Amino acid sequence: MNALDLSGIVKRFGGAAAVDGVSFSVAPGEVLALVGENGAGKSTLISVACGLYRADAGEVRAFGAPLPPGDPRAAIDAGIGVVYQHFMLVGPLSVWENVVLGREPRRSLGVIDGERARREVREAAERFGLELDVGARVEMLGVAAQQRVEIVKQLWRGARVLILDEPTAVLAPREADELVRTVRALAAGGRAVIFISHKLREVLAVADRIAVLRRGRLVQLTPRTETSAGQLAEAVMGKPLAAAPEAAELGLFSAPSRQGAPVPHPTAIPSRGSDILFEARDLACLSDRGRPALHGLSFNLARGEILGVAGVDGNGQSELAEVLTGLRPSSGSLRLNGAEGWARTPAAARAAGVVHLPEDRHRRALCLPLSVEENLALGHQRAPPYARGALIDRKGRSAKARALIAAFDVRPPEPLARAADLSGGNQQKVVAARELAGGPTPRLVVAVQPTRGLDLGAARRVHDALRETAAKGAGILLISLDLDELRFVCRRILVLYEGRAMGDAPPAASDEHLGRMMLGQPGA
């Protein structure tokens, strides 16, 4: 008996079919990978499977029993658990409170048994190899730790079918490898796992079978042993690899690059040596918990340079981004074009030409109830072409929005669509379009996980936009947990450990060398 069966699923929004007649199953003990471009229908399909959306046609069965359409509680009771790309957590609550929320263990008279809850959550995390401080407030955790909370929440609640939406997008390589081992262990224990990812080598490492969606339709369903990264990329993009330069950039023509130098992208921007644009000297700041987050950090950035920042999540990367964009007070010296004082507030930083692509697009980058057009204007709304004097220029704003939507391939290409109704990847395209091409050319770009959840083509567009911005003389600080991304886009990689600089490394540095630096050993 299959753990989950999807039969002829159709889901339309307006007149367009987001999912068009998709059928597949996943068995207990199996890992099924689901891949496809942003907007291919993956998120819609899993929303149907877990009851958030009511399908227009088709049927969902869990362990042989039909699930009532549009009933999330029935899906949960049947053992279906979903870890979304955007987490469903309550920030002010602790880890254990989030895990047990709504199903709290209770003593007599209905009193919540907090001691038992903490113990059970701690034991669940340890059993599945997911390190967590169960007493920590969730809003104080990094994105990777919040993801672990979501996974433990589903496992503690007894999920027998676990759906993971881009689970490694926020993880460092070692953490991603550990998650792959955890997923395989869960499958070995009899759980069914649906693993959604754009990282094709990772998919090949974890999956038993791989399903490819393109424009809402299932175009390929194959055992892992009968396909390759190149074949999957062709199925995802619907064209030969020779016509897809983004595949070459991500190493699909050759062996993985992690152990050596990748082939540099032909448009990569070299460092311009002594032409220094930005300098940080003895930078220090506190975390939200009042503890030191950055310790005497010093580095510089040349005009036209893309500098990568690597490190295990939670080692000062988020605080560094917030300091440079005026969101967090700091000590030390920050000079941009020789001037200081520009990072005191977000408004002052933006006025100085600093733009920010934050890691959390929902909380820090988008106003989800507003339209795509309105979101593309945020931060530029008082200047042409978005405004004429004190009045909104609706024609100018609409024309600019359509141009940005086309340049970044936002889907659907509808300026008046609500940002909340776009897939996560298309939301990220909106953020990148606005910050990199929506206004005057920036002087300093602080990009944090800018391609999280993006497909091959969309990631390529963001990388090209970063290069084009650097080519105009801007400095780019690219903070990412994806070492392959840093290797392909940057010419230097600055490694942080506990808020301190372990030194620079060239893109050709091996995973072993970078890993030692990320664990606190200064580079040679």
Which of the pair, 422 or 175, is modelled with greater confidence? 422
SS3 of 125, please?
helix
Residue 233 pLDDT grade (very low, low, confident, very high; cuts 50, 70, 90): confident
Mean per-residue pLDDT for 27-52? 93
pLDDT for the residue 85: 76
66, β-bridge pairs: 61
CA distances from 180 to 61, 176, 186, 187 (A): 27, 6, 10, 11
Per-residue pLDDT tens for 160-205? Answer: 999 999 888 767 667 778 888 889 999 999 999 999 998 888 899 9
Question: Which CB contacts under 8 angstroms, 24+ apart, belong to 363-370?
Answer: 365/431, 366/419, 366/427, 366/430, 366/431, 367/419, 368/418, 368/419, 368/420, 369/418, 369/419, 369/420, 370/418, 370/419
Q: Respond yes or no on whether the N-terminal peptide bond of residue 412 is cis (omega within 30° of 0).
A: yes
Q: Report the chain's mean pLDDT, rounded to a whole number.
A: 89
Q: What is the DSSP letter of 509?
A: -
Q: Is the pLDDT of residue 248 over 80?
A: no
57 with 10: CB under 8 angstroms? yes
Q: Respond yes or no on whether the N-terminal peptide bond of residue 385 is cis (omega within 30° of 0).
A: yes
Residue 255 pLDDT grade (very low, low, confident, very high; cuts 50, 70, 90): very low
pTM for this structure?
0.73
What's the CA gap between 294 and 329, in Å, rounded?
A: 11
The 3-class SS string of 427-469 reads HHHHHHHHHHHCCCCCCEEEEECCCCCCCHHHHHHHHHHHHHH
Take residue 257 and report the two structure tokens written for it: 């690059």
Which of 45-54, 139-148, 510-519 is predicted least confidently?
Answer: 139-148
Mean per-residue pLDDT for 403-431? 91
Residue 313 pLDDT grade (very low, low, confident, very high; cuts 50, 70, 90): confident
CA distances from 437 to 383, 404, 440 (A): 14, 7, 7
60, β-bridge pairs: 6
Q: What is the DSSP string of 23-90?
A: EEEE-TT-EEEEE--TTSSHHHHHHHHTTSS--SEEEEEETTEEPPTT-HHHHHHTTEEEE-SS----
**Which is it for the CA torsion 15, 18, 24, 27, positive or negative?**
negative
Count Cα neighbours of 370 within 13 Å in the Cβ-side half-sphere.
Answer: 13
Which H or E run includes 497? strand 492-497
Q: Is the pLDDT of residue 127 over 80?
A: yes
Per-residue pLDDT tens for 342-392? Answer: 999 999 999 999 999 998 888 899 999 999 999 999 999 999 999 999 999
What's the CA gap between 513 and 496, in Å, rounded?
A: 13
pLDDT for the residue 141: 84
Residue 87 pLDDT grade (very low, low, confident, very high; cuts 50, 70, 90): confident
Which of the pair, 5 or 143, is modelled with greater confidence? 5
Q: Measure CA 476 to chain center.
A: 19
Per-residue pLDDT tens for 440-486? Answer: 999 999 999 998 878 777 888 899 999 999 999 999 999 998 888 89
Q: Is the pLDDT of residue 261 over 50?
A: no
What's the CA gap between 503 and 508, in Å, rounded?
A: 15
